[in-house]
Structures are given as structure tokens and as C-alpha cells.
Amino acid sequence: MVGGWVRDQLFDPGGAGSDEDFDVELHGLDASTAETLLGHFGRVIHVGRAFGVMRVGKLDADFSLPHRDSLAAAGAGGTRPGRAFDPHLGFTEAARRRDLTINSMAWDPLSGELIDPHGGRRDLDRRVLRATDRARFGDDPLRGLRVAQLLARFDCEPDGELRALCAGLDLGGVSRERVFEELRKLLLKSARPADGLRFLEEAGLLRFFPELSALVGVPQDPRWHPEGCVWTHTLMVVDEAAGLRQGEARDDLALMLGALCHDLGKPDTTNADGEPLRSPRHEAVGAAITGRFLGGLRAAGELVTRVEALVRHHLAPARLVGSGAHAKAYRRLARKLAAAGVDAELLYRLARADHLGRTTEEALARSCDPVERFLAAMRELALNEAGPRDVVMGRHVVARGVPPGPRVGAVLRRCRAIQDESGSTRVEEILGRALSDEGDEGD
């Protein structure tokens, strides 16, 4: 057993952050013999023959053979022909291709022995991140991101040499999918993801995320943001959001990305020379930037849509409460959220993180009354988990003598507006008013 599973078991056996898959390295067997033996336990699938990784049936395990080069060193094309596998290489030498000493340990399930030739357990106990082999660390520039997510997950500090190595990495050629996966782990698996993001800034790696690096130094009105620039606020919001994760990966990832992206529009909208400082329409501008940012990381379309909606509406809870909005406004917001696959409960979590991720007197007192009142209103209207359901359907309109065509759609839109304004769920009442309004418009 090698890699992250060994590390996680030593750090927190069975913990929530543990890697679920097993990585097994087979020593003393050539490729053909290994495949034959594994075949007794299920169908063997090669995950790229050049990588020497095999999956067996439905087992949550990757089986590989020892080799001298880094898996990631295959480059942008994904494979390197002629990889030299050596079943007799020995674990000490095979582990040199691994990134960090805490990931370069093995556990022999037959003898129960921990194999730790590079001092990984000592480093884990000291909470130190150290390169396994300085000369080979740069084989995969993605390792800079991995250092960021591991230091945040395990509350570790990179040693000086590792910091220098990370600062010299170029993430430009790394596939966006791999970058997104490391970002996902950072946001979902660490209690303080801001530590990892701050490391990216310190190591000069934030430049490969221009949408994020643009936040550094952007000023904010000290009345609402005494903590400092937009980047400082964003880091605080991300950590607040981490405390609001509920263990459901789909919503938690949308929440965390919403926290990371919620103010991406401020660099383009802040009147830095004005008094007071303002960032008009930064939510709408930020939603568009968010779409480009996540799209560039090859995030799933559904996820992008959800995060865009959270960014676009992250100020709505406080604004609705502050303006004394009526139920109609809450229903309209719930419809917009539902259309993007988001509910008011998720928006509430982002708004709460945004409200508390600053150093105002109210935030330091852990008070966010407007956001709490927003959620209470949504729950009272039964809109916290879904938008209003249209009660008038096309068939109802046609049954009242309206011929199929564009006019039906126009009547349905009026019905929706009437339903949102009145709160009525009676088909005939809503439809009657809509048709009556149509007649009045015609007159």
C-alpha cells in the first residue's frame, strides 16, 4: 500500500479527509505475471499501458509496477513511450519519483511493516512538508498545487527548500482538469483552505490564476471591510464557508467555489479614486468572470451555472431584508435560483460566509441578522429548498379558448407574475386575472 492512503492512516485513521481509493505497488512481479494473478479477482483494465496502472473489477484500488520516472513527467500528451518498469527496483528507489516524503511511505499488508525510507513519518509528526527528491520534484509542476492543498489539509509547513522549488514551477503547461482536481481537494478537504491559497500567492503561483491574482490589493470601503483588500476578504470568506460545508459534495463544492469567486467582479468595477469606495454591479460582472474562470478549468457545465448564480445573487439576501422587500421579490429570487439549480439554503450559506468573513464589529460578534432573517422569510414562504411551482399550465390556457401559439406563452408569463405577486395557488383565479389584464391591454 503506497501514497495518500498510508499518509492519511497515520495522520487520522479512518478520518473524513482520508483518500478512499487504495494504491497498491506490486514488487517482484513482471507485468505479464501481475496481470495474470490480478485476473483471478476480476477483469483487469489498463489505465494507459504506458503508465503501468491496472484496475481490477469493482475494487477501489489502483495496482501499479515500480518504475524510475514520475507518472506526471509524461507531459501534456499524457504518456511517455518506453517507460522503464523494474519489478526488482525496490521501494526506496521507486519512491524517489514521489513528490513529498509524507507521500513516499508504504505499508506491507502481509507483514504489517511501515516502509519509510525517506523520513515521511517524522515529517508528518513534525507537520513539515519536504520534497522526496529535490532533483525530481519539478518533474510535475502540478506539485506546487498539491503542496498548497496538503499544507491546508494537514496543517503543515513547507520547509525552505520546498518553498523555493515551488516558486520555480510553471503551471502553464499542466492540464486544466488536473489543476481543477487539486483546487477541488483544497476547497473540500481542508478546514482552512485559505492557508493553501495564501501559499500560492507567497510562492508566486497565483499568477497562473489571473482572475484570483487580480483581487490582491484591490481596496474596499473600510466601513464594511476593515480587514483590507478584496483578496484578504476572499480568504476569510473561503474559511468561513469551509465551516458551513455539510458533507454533500455537490453543494459543498458549489458553496466553496462561490466563496472563492464571489467578488471576482470588484477589480473591474471598483472606483479606486472615489469616496466612498464603491463596486457597482460587481455581482453581475463577477458572475461572467466566474464563468470564464471555471470554464477555463474545464469544470462541469452544471457546476459553472450554479456557481455563477451564487455569485450573481450573493448580495440579494441582505438587500431584500434591508429594503423591506415583499414576498413577491422573494418568489422571484427563488425562481432565478431554481433555474440555475440552486436553492435559498445554499445561497444563505454563501451570504453568511460573506457577512462573517470580515472584521466589522458585527462580524466579530458572529452576528449576521439580515442573512438569518432572509432564510427565515424563505422558509416561511416554503421557498428555501425550491422555487415556486407554476400552477397554471399551457393546457389550462388552451382550455379557456386561447389557440396554441405565442399568445399562450404570453398568458403564462402574466400568470407567473400574478402568482408571485399574490401568492395565490388557485388556477382559475390567476388565469382569470391574466386574461382580464390581457383584455385591458388590448383596450
For residue 241, the model assigns a pLDDT of 98
Res 13 pLDDT > 70: no
Q: Is residue 58 part of a domain?
A: yes
Task: List, for residues 151-160, the tens digit of each pLDDT value.
Answer: 999 999 999 9
Co-location of 379 and 402 in the same domain: no
What pLDDT does residue 436 have? Answer: 85
Q: Give the distance from CA 3 to its chain's centroid.
A: 23
Neighbours of 328 (CB within 10 A): 14
Per mean pLDDT, which range of 118-132, 338-352, 358-372, 409-423 is the poorest?
A: 409-423
Quick check: bond before 404 cis, omega within 30? no
At residue 71, the pLDDT reads 45
Q: Which residues contact 441 (CB under 8 A, 6 or more apart)?
A: none
Q: pLDDT per residue over 269-306, tens digit each?
A: 999 776 789 999 999 999 999 999 999 999 999 999 99
Query: Which pLDDT band holds residue 388 (cuts at 50, 70, 90)?
Result: confident
Q: Is residue 355 within 8 Å of 363, Cβ to Cβ?
A: yes
275 or 403: which carries more pLDDT confidence? 403
68 part of a folded domain:
yes
Please check the confidence at residue 85 and state whether its pLDDT lies above 90. no
pLDDT at residue 234 greater than cutoff 70? yes
Q: Are residues 384 and 416 in the same domain?
A: no
Strand spans (E) along 167-264: none
Distance CA 336, CA 334 (A): 5
Residue among 27, 56, 23 nearest 39 (CA): 56
Is the pLDDT reported for residue 70 higher than 70?
no
Read off the C-alpha cell for 235: 480568504
Q: In what helix (H) or strand (E) does residue 157 lie, and over which residues does it extend?
A: strand 157-158
CATH code at position 5: 3.30.460.10
Residue whose C-alpha cell is 464589529: 361
pLDDT in tens, 135-178: 999 999 999 999 999 999 999 999 999 999 999 999 999 999 99
Whether the CB-CB separation of 374 and 329 falls below 8 Å is answered with no
- Please check whether residues 28 and 43 belong to one and the same domain: yes
CA-to-CA distance for 166 and 160, rounded, in angstroms?
10
Same-domain pairing of 367 and 430: no
Q: For the chain, how many structural domains are there in total?
A: 3
Q: What per-residue confidence (pLDDT) applies to 42?
A: 94
**Residues 401 and 275 placed together within one structural domain of the fold:** no
pLDDT of residue 67: 81
* pTM assigned to the model: 0.87
- pLDDT reported for residue 48: 63
Give the model's pLDDT for residue 155: 92
Question: Nearest CA to 251 among 349, 335, 169, 171?
Answer: 349
pLDDT at residue 443 above 50?
no
Q: What is the pLDDT of residue 50?
A: 60
Per the structure, the complete domain to which residue 62 belongs is given by 1-124
**Whether residues 308 and 339 fall in one domain:** yes
Closest CA to 385 of 425, 331, 346: 346
- Comparing 377 with 88, the larger pLDDT belongs to 377
Contact 290, 336 (CB under 8 A): no
pLDDT averaged over the chain?
91
As a whole number, mean pLDDT of residues 43-49 equals 82
